[in-house]
Amino acid sequence: MKLSHLSEGIETKSRPGFRDVEVTGIVTDSRSLEPGDVFIAIKGHAADGHAFVEEAVRKGASALVVERPVGSDRPTLVVEDSSLAASLMAKRFFGDPVARLALTGITGTNGKTSSAFLLRSILDIAHGPCGIIGTIGYGVSDELIPARNTTPGPVDLYRALAGFVKRGCRSAVMEVSSHAAAQGRIAGLEFDTGAFTNATRDHLDYHGTFEEYIKAKEIFISTLNEPGRKKQPGTFVYNADDPEVARVAERFAGRRVSFGLSAPADVRAEGLKADLKGTRFDLVTGAARTRLVLRLLGTISAYNALTAAACAHALGVGVGEIKAGLEKAAQVPGRFQVVSIGRGPTAVVDYAHTPDALEKVLNFCRELQPKRIVTVFGCGGDRDRGKRPMMGAIAARLSTIVFVTDDNPRTEDPDRIVKEILEGIGQSAANVRVVRDRRAAIREAIKTASEGDLVVIAGKGHENEQIVRGARLPFNDAREAEEALEALEVGHQG
């Protein structure tokens, strides 16, 4: 594709050395550049792509897109916003795949991944194979490629969406993080539905304040009815039970569909009953009503199912297909994932890494009336420090025994993280133990627990690695829990 065609419609401040060269690919990471690719330098939160322009030139970049002059002999487009330019160029390079997909975006502090998986299950039945992009990975059916970010960068995002079209998908669902919205990674995407699950404290290390965090969410929501869309305006699907989300809905001028447990919601659950065997409720969508029996557990899962049902309803899917898709869905990795070997304690692995998520998970566990709740958790390094004492206080208040351990310390001193968690616990009546080694903490917690106890392992969920001082070490909470339970079983037999 010619550079002139690829860059058509993109406002530039200058075009030093412009020549209409042939472009064979688009990259924002110089490490993956092949000769003939255009290199787009994006200034990110952790690194500035402009520092890698020389490397891109050495590797054979055909052209450059930058936000400031770089003095290269390659055809260069100097733009105001290189992230926006990347989205627009990728959209053109990959043939605007969104025009051929019913696209749903799901945002919110908690529940994005589970809601996306549940909606995919519905759309698989209603529309045929549905693509998915999110925290756990991206792909079609069960062929998921692991993802580094909840929402990929613009080039990877359009590449994935184009791949879905090639696989015959008519629909796709993706998680939309606040980072992605604020950084322009979703620019140019025309969503048919956009859902907002809930809003509590998260990512304040990046956004600074809760108000700025909400503004980032609204950047995504505003795309549903922004001027110049080729598609019809999209539908805003929102949690009517969350006051902050409801306020966002009041400010949205387009079509809305609400969900929740309260009667006024357009899509709601009535007669909710949840235990370790599953979750049951009547799903009401307008005038239609059907009884759901989900394999997923808890009030949290009910909200996730309602998010998916409301999105499907907004897309015109019938209640019968919604029921079939939700009841077909199995456990989502790391989202209230039950790990049990049939005897001894039951372990639950959950991604809960915010105060609100941890409180909801532990409150649901209490509703199940186990003999005791043994909680294993830590907090991530290089992230919002303010939530650490809050999570410590929640764990101590709602658990019988608490094991404070490492999560992903990243480059931060793990001892300081633990100290700040313990400050929130204070003089709690809970039995609190510090076991820094996460593997040892999980094994000790399961060894401490008995038949009828619940061991809640929170924070890392589906993750397959632990980040310690920049190193990525293989680690999976569910696998560790299963091995600990099996070791306990061997010990009993011995």
Q: For residue 443, what are the contacts with CB-CB under 8 A and spacing of at least 6?
A: 480, 484, 487
Q: How many CA atoms lie within 13 A of 342 on its CB side?
A: 1
pTM: 0.83
DSSP 268: E
Q: Which two tokens stand for residue 136?
A: 């756990």
**Helix, strand, coil in percent for the chain, rounding step 5:** 40, 25, 40
CA dihedral 400, 278, 481, 136 (to 10 degrees): -120
Burial group, residue 143, by CB count within 10 angstroms (0-12, 13-18, 19+): exposed
Question: Quick one: pLDDT at residue 209?
Answer: 83
CA diameter of the chain: 77
- Residue 370 bridge partners (DSSP): none
Task: Assign 60 to helix, strand or coil.
Answer: coil
d(CA 470, CA 408): 10
- pLDDT, averaged per 10 consecutive residues of the chain (494 residues), comes to 93 94 95 96 85 96 96 94 92 95 94 93 96 90 74 88 96 90 84 94 61 89 92 97 94 96 92 85 94 87 96 97 94 87 91 91 89 97 92 96 96 96 87 97 97 95 91 95 87 53
Domains of the chain: 3-83 (3.40.1390.10), 97-328 (3.40.1190.10), 337-493 (3.90.190.20)
Vertex 472 angle, CA 457 and 54, to 5°: 140
What is residue 343's predicted lDDT score, i.e. its pLDDT?
84
